[in-house]
Amino acid sequence: MKFLSVLGLSFLCAMLPLQAQTSESVHLSVDAARSGATISRNIFGQFAENLGHGLYEGIWVGPDSSIPNTRGIRNDVVAALRELKVPNVRWPGGCFADQYHWRNGVGPREKRPATVNSAWGDVIDTNAFGTDEFMDFIQQIGSTPYVSINLGSGTVEEAAQWVEYMTAGAPTALAKERAANGHPDPYKVGFLGLGNESWDCGGAMTPDYYVSLMKVYSRFVVNMNPAQRSKDQMLKIAVGPGTPNTAWTEAVMQAWKRHTWSWDINGVSVHWYTTPGGWPVSMPSSNFSVDDYAKTLKTTLFMDEFLREQEAVMNKYDPDKKVALVVDEWGGWYKPLTGSNPAFLVQQNSIRDAIMASLNLNIFARHADRVRMANIAQMINVLQAMILTDKEKMVLTPTYYVFKMYVPFQDSTFVPVTFDAGTYTQGSVTLPRIDSIAAKTTDGKLMLEITNLDAANPATVSVDVAGMAAKSARAQTLTGAAVDSVNTFASPDSVVPEPVGVKMEAGKLSLTVAPRSVTVIAIEP
């Protein structure tokens, strides 16, 4: 797929000058002896819907392609994703999930029926990428499948048979069919989504109607993998809201509070996109102004309030926090690039999106006691993607590099950070000047992240570290020449992490973080 190569750098008349104006001072205090919840690695999950060129061309090129591949799956994409240690991938949707019939995507590919993807552009789906191809992809990148079943246009029987096909260890007819298709061993399904956006594209249901269906699907759609009976059990994720209204969460959690042995759920999903200007989306993903940059970040910070409102309802019914809050769709949603198919949701990915990703990940970390899974939308070529492809070419986006920088935070222990964020004003928008989180890794390192939201000014940062004998520190920073700096196929390294100097003396660190930047510091004991 072709992405426009017109960069925001051509829009310099609206950008701030490259050189900084002033350097603000910020003081942070971190006590490594204090700790909070585990920052689950699953909050760094991905989303691969059958949409546009996300699957086809992005992941699947077919075994006969001239693009290097393993059993039809792109080698370059697999290698890039392995660097992120992707914990889970949600598939096949999204809105596509509630029209997907799994039998169309198994067996010999030349015999699979062509169908219409009416969810996204009425394009022909060859069904070449189906269950076994997805599981192969998952195994190649070293991840865990998060399968969304068809609760909208499907049946309980269809969903139950699909999960049996994937997981049965005993020689049932479906297990034998899977073996005949080349996969004798059962797959492990880590997570099962009980529908998608059932309040809208998943069936326009009322909360009570959905709850009635959810209980039936939870009861009869059973994981049959013997390795997942006592441990590593498949977790079932119910549909939650896509707006701040809490009525849907209330209905699901009230039902869960009264549940019996016959059914259960382990999580409730929520969807919240950064859409500056609201719906329909109007903000461009390239050639935008500094004011647009600030408006976007202001919009994304609402995620914190959104989660708090849902958590308040969940806490009422589940004070022990047994049920996870799963943000399985989030990210920036902008106008499709000019010349692209509007239904394919093609957009560029800039340093603005990297900062937006860091702010969301930091919010999830602060809510780690309840938010134990999240999936950015989406993985490749769609919305806020990690990777863009064009035939044999591939480019890694600024958002990709944020996820790579945050790898040490996976399954680390949250450590509170005390700081005065200050304020940064751009046009009519006032934002916190900085954001920061810290965590302790399983091998004893202290990880510190600092996001500088200020588009123009660097920040001189001093950090007091207590609770550990800090011996050394190293840091890397991701920034760009302007707020709309991007990586392109012609210039793939415009926005990449670079090392930054850190001074350490008597347990205190000092460094300067660039404007519009994401910085991660590893502090060694």
pLDDT digits (tens, 9 = 90+) for 134-159: 999 999 999 999 999 999 999 999 99
Name 383's Cβ contacts closer than 8 Å, sequence gap at least 6. Answer: 331, 332, 333, 345, 347, 377
Question: Read out DSSP for 452-494?
Answer: E--SS--EEEEEEEESS---EEEEEEE--SSTT-B--SSSTTS
User: Between 476 and 9, where is the model more confident?
Assistant: 476
Q: Is the pTM of this model over 0.75?
A: yes
The domain locations on the chain are 13-34+416-524, 39-272+292-330+358-411
Integer Cα distance of 511 and 509 in angstroms: 7
Q: What average pLDDT does range 233-259 have in this prediction?
A: 97
Q: State the residue for tokens 């991701």.
A: 478
The angle at the Cα of 164, spanning 158 to 165, to the nearest 5 degrees, equals 90
Q: Is omega for the bond preceding 347 within 30 degrees of 0, making it cis?
A: no
pLDDT digits (tens, 9 = 90+) for 295-335: 999 999 999 999 999 999 999 999 999 999 999 999 999 99
Integer Cα distance of 138 and 148 in angstroms: 15
Question: Read out DSSP for 385-418?
Answer: -SEEEETTEEEE-HHHHHHHHTGGGTTEEEE-EE
Q: Are strands 38-39 and 412-415 parallel, antiparallel or unpaired?
A: antiparallel
Integer Cα distance of 289 and 278 in angstroms: 17
Integer Cα distance of 49 and 55 in angstroms: 7
Nearest Cα to Cα of residue 355 among 445, 426, 420, 269:
426
In the predicted model, is pLDDT for residue 17 greater than 80? Answer: no
User: Between 14 and 459, where is the model more confident?
Assistant: 459
Integer Cα distance of 341 and 2 in angstroms: 11
| Mean pLDDT, the chain, integer | 94
Whole-number percent of the chain with pLDDT over 70: 96
* Predicted pLDDT at 447: 97
pLDDT digits (tens, 9 = 90+) for 450-483: 999 999 999 999 999 999 988 899 999 999 999 9
Nearest Cα to Cα of residue 484 among 333, 299, 349, 331:
349
CATH topology of domain 39-272+292-330+358-411: TIM Barrel (3.20.20)
Give whole-number Cα distances, 429 to 299, 306, 457, in Å.
10, 20, 16
Whole-number percent of the chain with pLDDT over 90: 92
Are domains 13-34+416-524 and 39-272+292-330+358-411 of this chain identical in fold? no
* Predicted pLDDT at 183: 97
* Predicted pLDDT at 314: 98
Q: Which residues are catalytic?
A: 197, 329
* Predicted pLDDT at 22: 65
Integer Cα distance of 163 and 487 in angstroms: 40
Q: What is the CA radius of gyration of the chain?
A: 23
E-strand stretches of 140-187: 144-149
Looking at domain 13-34+416-524, what is its CATH homologous superfamily? Golgi alpha-mannosidase II (2.60.40.1180)
What token pair was written down for 22? 């002033």
Query: Is the CB of residue 482 less than 8 Å from the CB of residue 419?
Result: no
In the predicted model, is pLDDT for residue 2 greater than 50? Answer: no
Confidence of residue 264 (pLDDT cuts 50, 70, 90): very high
